[in-house]
Amino acid sequence: MKIVRTIICTLAPTAEQRTELDATLVAFADACNFTAEVARSMHSTNKVTLQHTCYQALRQRFGLSANLAIRAIARVCAALKVPVKMHSVFALTSADYDARIFSFREWDWTFSMTLLHSRAYLATKLGHYQKRQLQGRLPRSATLAKRRDGTFFVHVVLTDTAPEPAEPDGVIGVDLGIKNLATTDDGENFSGDAVEAVRKRYGRMRRTCQKTGTKSAKRKLQTIRLRESRMQANENHRISNRLIAKAKDTGSAIACEDLAGIGDRITARKAQRSRLKGWAFYQLRTFITYKAKREGILVVPVDPRHTSRTCSACGHCEKRNRKSRDAFVCRQCGYALPADWNAAKNIKARGEVMHPVVGPVDAGPRNPVEGTNKPRHLSGSGS
């Protein structure tokens, strides 16, 4: 199975290169818009047809190199095939590159790219992560992009073949939640308190901005949102990395809630408050899936219903087993432990049962009727 990853690399161009980069983006966008115009008038999104009609014009009118012209046509064809993008205007913010017009030079961490008038070696500002990913690689495609603040980036596409998932020795059960973002069946716990505390701190600032409603308040609001989501993503990376490392060390599979169930989690009443949280939850689940795939670790999706009210020792299922959000005490056998830990144990047990039947691929959404019949209220009181 192929895994495609995009590594975002900041460029550090000279002033001269900057002008060239800008000119390239302008020419590329103009070429795209020209091609789109032709495509619409011809009622065709066929690459060969458009290449035949537009190629010479793109070379002469916009001064694009052969391969940039081809990339522009390819982009237009791909975009116009999507009905909602049929009438889109191409912005001056990005251009596509393939192996003939783009290469990566490892010894000084530069990208060689064909620009409008020249081929340039562009210096980069790379972090440890980017360097680690790019080491020893010969990427074959990339996108040049410019952000609103004027910074240039290269989005480098790396394609890998995922290892076949190894037959696991055991299963790690992971309970995903809102208060505790993740809890494993051995009791390791990743609390959401740190993120929540920062969110609260921003909360008042956010409300003031929302009320003010001026342009600068809106900008500020956007900054806060970005900061919050960056922090959440950071936390989710940390948790998923830890879980993957744990599974790798012990040769285990990971059992956790299937994605289909996540939409049910958020009740209408709490929808506003929980939107970001629900999204964060989904993100963590997605991180676990793709990182596991990359490492050849099996993910067993399980149906999480009743995992938090069933006793992991005797199997007794009763709502009152869960005394509070945090405490689980079985009313039949008296088994007591933190509620999320108990749920993780149940998920592990289900994962062990299901693994031989269910593959590493998530099942599609559950029957929507079933979903609405049994709403689960996890955000406040737990499922």
302 bridge partner residues: 257
138 contacts Zn ion (rule: CB under 5 A): no
Q: Which residue's structure tokens are 């956007």?
A: 222
Member of 316, 325, 366, 377 binding Zn ion (CB under 5 A): 316
**Residue closer to Zn ion (CB basis): 260 or 329:** 329
Q: Least distance in Å: CB of 273 to Zn ion? A: 33
Q: Which CB atom, from 176 or from 311, has the smaller least distance to Zn ion?
A: 311
Q: How many residues are given for the chain?
A: 383
Structure tokens at 267: 């009740």
Min separation Cβ 202 and Zn ion, Å: 42
For Zn ion, which is the closer residue by CB, 309 or 376?
309
The residue (of 331 and 374) whose beta carbon lies closer to Zn ion is 331
Q: 103 has which bridge partners?
A: 112
Q: Which is nearer to Zn ion, 56 or 332 (CB)?
A: 332
Nearest distance in Å: CB 334, Zn ion: 7
Q: For residues 344-383, which are near Zn ion according to CB under 5 A?
A: none
Minimum CB separation of residue 331 from Zn ion in Å reads: 8
CA 172 to chain centre: 23
- Count the residues of the shown chain that bind Zn ion, applying the rule CB under 5 A: 8
Enumerate residues 331-350 that contact Zn ion by CB under 5 A.
Answer: 332-333, 335
Q: Which residues is 94 bridged to in the sheet?
A: 145
Q: What whole-number distance in Å separates Cα of residue 22 and Cα of residue 136? A: 30
Residue from 36, 116, 330, 339 that binds Zn ion (CB under 5 A)? 330
Residue 221 token pair: 């609001």
The minimum distance between CB 255 and Zn ion, in angstroms, equals 21
Binding mask 259-298 for Zn ion (x = CB under 5 A): ----------------------------------------
Q: Measured from the CB atom, is 290 or 335 closer to Zn ion?
A: 335
Tokens of 151: 């910074």
Q: Measured from the CB of residue 321, what is the shortest distance to Zn ion in angstroms? A: 8
Minimum distance of Zn ion from residue 345's CB (angstroms): 11
Min. distance of Cβ 230 from Zn ion in angstroms?
A: 42
Beta bridge partners of 9: 154
Write out the binding residues for Zn ion, residues 9-38 only, by CB under 5 A: none
Nearer to Zn ion, 259 or 329 (CB): 329
Residues 103 to 132 in contact with Zn ion, rule: CB under 5 A: none
Min. distance of Cβ 313 from Zn ion in angstroms?
Answer: 5
| Residue 199 CB, nearest approach to Zn ion (Å) | 36
Quick one: which segment of 212-220, 301-309, 316-324, 354-362 binds Zn ion (CB under 5 A)? 316-324
Query: Are 341 and 330 contacting, i.e. CB atoms less than 8 angstroms apart?
Result: no
Q: Give the nearer residue to Zn ion in terms of CB position, either 100 or 316.
A: 316
Segment interacting with Zn ion (CB under 5 A) among 244-252, 301-309, 328-336, 339-347: 328-336
Neighbour-count burial of 217, counting CB atoms closer than 10 A to its CB (0-12 exposed, 13-18 middle, 19+ buried):
middle
Among positions 296-315, residues that touch Zn ion (CB under 5 A) are 311, 313-314
The residue (of 225 and 331) whose beta carbon lies closer to Zn ion is 331
- Looking at the Cβ atoms of 284 and 311, the one nearer to Zn ion is 311
Q: Which residues bind Zn ion (CB under 5 A)?
A: 311, 313-314, 316, 330, 332-333, 335
